[in-house]
Amino acid sequence: MDAVEQLIEFVDASPSPFHACATAAGLLAGAGWAEVDERDPWPSEPGRYLVRRGGSLAAWSTVASTDPADAFRVVGAHTDSPNLRLKQRHDRRFANLSTVALEPYGGPLLTTWLDRDLTVAGRIGLRDGSERLVHVAEPILRVPNLAVHLDRDAQGSPDRQRHLDAIWAGHADDEPFLAWLGRREGFDAADVLGFELMTADTQPSAVVGDFLAAPRLDNQATCWAGVRAMVDAPQVEGVRPVLVLFDHEEVGSASERGAQSDLLATVIERTVLAAGGSRDDVHRAVAASVCASGDMAHATHPNHAERHEPLHRIAAGGGPVLKVNQNLRYATDTRGAVAFARACEAADVPLQRYVHRADLPCGSTIGPMSAARTGITTVDVGAPQLAMHSAREQMATADVEPYTRALTAFLSP
């Protein structure tokens, strides 16, 4: 299976952050990674390990490390994508229709979610303390546009509160949505005490000429490339590769498992201590480490070239992107830039450099927050894409494999 086919398989199997972690964990387990429970003592034997915290995952390898103060090489990404999520009370009836109340998570391009064949996925928690992931394969929900005849001066963007409830196709009776889901997935809705459920487009990812059209490329393209890099990277003496996939980037990263959490910091600390290191060795390791924060980058849009910095045209298909922002919306500094540029040279892939227009607010990434939380030198990188935060995004197929090669080289300096 080539790189693009692998990425398609990853994305289509991962309609929620929880599924993205399950998909990543499955690929890593197949390559020899053992899952650790954070409640258990940290493994002290050299090996390949991973932990999951809900929609976040961290994986690391200590097989080529002999000194507890050895450096970590980290690739980071985020598992979440903007979408429409179910409100806690979501069952509505209107004119013989069953509808499901939704609200935006993060900043989706709302119009792209209308007239799409949607399904539901996510995590539910039951009274007995167990959790399960759910993913309904076939389309069940749609949020129809208003006909142009009823909206002559179509202002485009739907209202986030009033215009995003989905019609639940085929359900004319009063059965609550969770009861139906439970009948399907084998749980009793009365036992559901918590849930994080979200919609996802059911149209499979597709290659369209030189492009890949797919949901959630931001940022599952990096999640997949990072997993691939962890599996492919040759073990280098004195280097401990780490992959960290954070949930909640699209809403600010402030949670127990987001980039502002202690997830990466504790993986590093516990790994050093379990190897027999001291607190001082933790700080020595951090000082020697570098993190590549991978997130998708804006390819220059041919219809909107004026929205891009004139000297920083980014070509779809032109290779990985280094992102620099003077106001630290990206974490990149000189040292981080050198580390990633060297990786691209070693992998023999071209490197493009992105700067956002100074008169437009720049988006951010996990990079600055993870750098501030851990003290690790960080470089923000990505692969070019178009239509970021659309329900269906687009990237050049030619960028998929070089991106993972650059991250692989970064993990094995």
User: Minimum distance between the CB of residue 218 and Co ion, rounded to whole angstroms?
Assistant: 4
User: Pairing relation of β-strands 321-323 and 290-294?
Assistant: unpaired
User: Minimum distance between the CB of residue 365 and Co ion, rounded to whole angstroms?
Assistant: 6
Angle at 380 between CA 245 and CA 370, to 5 degrees: 50
**What sign for the dihedral angle of Cα 221, 266, 123, 114?**
negative
Q: At what angle do helices 217-232 and 17-30 cross, to 10 degrees?
A: 20
Instruction: Kindly tell me which of 182 and 368 has the beta carbon lying closer to Co ion.
Output: 368
Tokens of 204: 């499979």
Instruction: Kindly tell me which of 259 and 286 has the beta carbon lying closer to Co ion.
Output: 259
Residue 173's SS3 state is: coil
User: Minimum distance between the CB of residue 223 and Co ion, rounded to whole angstroms?
Assistant: 10
**For the chain, how many helices (H) and strands (E)?**
9, 21
User: Minimum distance between the CB of residue 152 and Co ion, rounded to whole angstroms?
Assistant: 36
Instruction: Kindly tell me which of 79 and 377 has the beta carbon lying closer to Co ion.
Output: 79
Burial code (b: 16+ CB inside 10 Å, e: under 16) for 93-120 equals: eeeeebbbbbebbeebebebbbebebbb
Instruction: Kindly tell me which of 218 and 269 has the beta carbon lying closer to Co ion.
Output: 218
Binding site for Co ion (CB under 5 A): 218-219, 295
User: Minimum distance between the CB of residue 104 and Co ion, rounded to whole angstroms?
Assistant: 15
DSSP bridge partners of 243: 59, 75
Instruction: Kindly tell me which of 253 and 271 has the beta carbon lying closer to Co ion.
Output: 253
Instruction: Kindly tell me which of 64 and 251 has the beta carbon lying closer to Co ion.
Output: 251
Q: What is the DSSP string of 369-400?
A: HHHHHH--EEEEEE-EEBSTTSSSEEEEGGGH
User: Minimum distance between the CB of residue 324 and Co ion, rounded to whole angstroms?
Assistant: 17
User: Minimum distance between the CB of residue 412 and Co ion, rounded to whole angstroms?
Assistant: 25
Angle at 47 between CA 64 and CA 123, to 5 degrees: 130
Instruction: Kindly tell me which of 218 and 380 has the beta carbon lying closer to Co ion.
Output: 218
